[in-house]
Amino acid sequence: MKVKEVADLTGVSVRTLHHYDDIGLLVPDDVTEAGYRVYSDENLTTLQQILFFREVGFPLKKIKELLDSPSFNRLEAFELQREMLLAKHRQLEMMIQTIDKTLQTERGEMTMTNEEKFKGFDFSSNPYEQEARNRWGDEAVDKANKNVAKFGKETQEEMNRIYYNLAELRHTDPASVEAQAAISDWYTFLNKIGDYSLEAFAGLGEMYVADERFTKNIDQFGEGLALFMRDAMKAYATRRKQV
């Protein structure tokens, strides 16, 4: 299919498809000799995914990261998207209720507090978005760091100690007893300030190497630490799941 066919089918503009091609988010599987973009059925499925994530408010950059992520699983993604759409659905219901109440208020049939006036409007707390970010997104790290700040100096120092310990081991085997002990401290620490399943923990490790901003941050404690931590975290999660 050529651009306009895809555009007409999906409702996005041709320019949008160009843009997605430019940023590498949706690169057509084929091009004609004249340079015309040709989209495959596989491309269409990807586009569907992109539009779902876009609809629930993910920035394109993050969508790309998700789709590129080695741990990305289409079926799982669809299920999550379903949940998120349902959440949005419920949110809309709240907004409609809010409107109904407002209408009654305008007619003088009842009164509303200011909080009630904005029920359903606060998007800052979408639990499913949070879940998605935990599962695949780099926000997991942000969250951790923010929480650390919130938990004060001692926590910060504890975190640094763990980093230093790990940094010293970074040229050894990530699956060794020492490394696993150190990474276990890391897991314990993270669960003090947040809530990480083993899957999330392993996913977080992936992010340490997948996203250069975190690689850079972590590697301040020692070059190659991020990579080492990812391997150690993966090994840790795998081993503990087997038990």
Partner DNA sequence: TATAGAGTATGACGTAACGTGAGAGTCAAC
Partner DNA sequence: GTTGACTCTCACGTTACGTCATACTCTATA
List of residues contacting a copy of itself (CB under 8 A): 9-13, 41, 44-45, 48, 51-52, 55, 74-75, 78-79, 81-82, 85-86, 88-89, 92-93, 95-96, 99-100, 102-103, 106-107, 114-115, 117-118, 121-124
Distance CA 155, CA 188 (A): 12
Q: Does 16 bind DNA (CB under 7 A)?
A: yes
Q: Does 209 bind DNA (CB under 7 A)?
A: no
DSSP class of 48: H
Q: Does 13 bind DNA (CB under 7 A)?
A: yes
Instruction: Using the minimum distance from each CB to a copy of itself, give the nearer residue, 100 or 178.
Output: 100
- Smallest gap, in angstroms, from Cβ of residue 219 to a copy of itself? 22
Distance CA 67, CA 48 (A): 12
Q: Are 169 and 179 in contact (CB under 8 A)?
A: yes
Contacts of DNA in 27-46 (CB under 7 A): 32-37
Q: Does 54 bind DNA (CB under 7 A)?
A: yes
Query: Which range in 55-63, 93-101, 177-185, 190-198 contacts DNA by CB under 7 A?
Result: 55-63
At 204, the amino acid letter reads L
Full DSSP string of 42-100: HHHHHHHHHHHHHHTT--HHHHHHHHH-TT--HHHHHHHHHHHHHHHHHHHHHHHHHHH
Question: Which are the contacts of 52, defined by CB distance < 8 A and separation ≥ 6?
Answer: 78, 81, 85
Q: Does 227 bind DNA (CB under 7 A)?
A: no
Residues interacting with DNA, by CB under 7 A? 2-5, 7, 12-16, 18-19, 21, 32-37, 54, 59-61
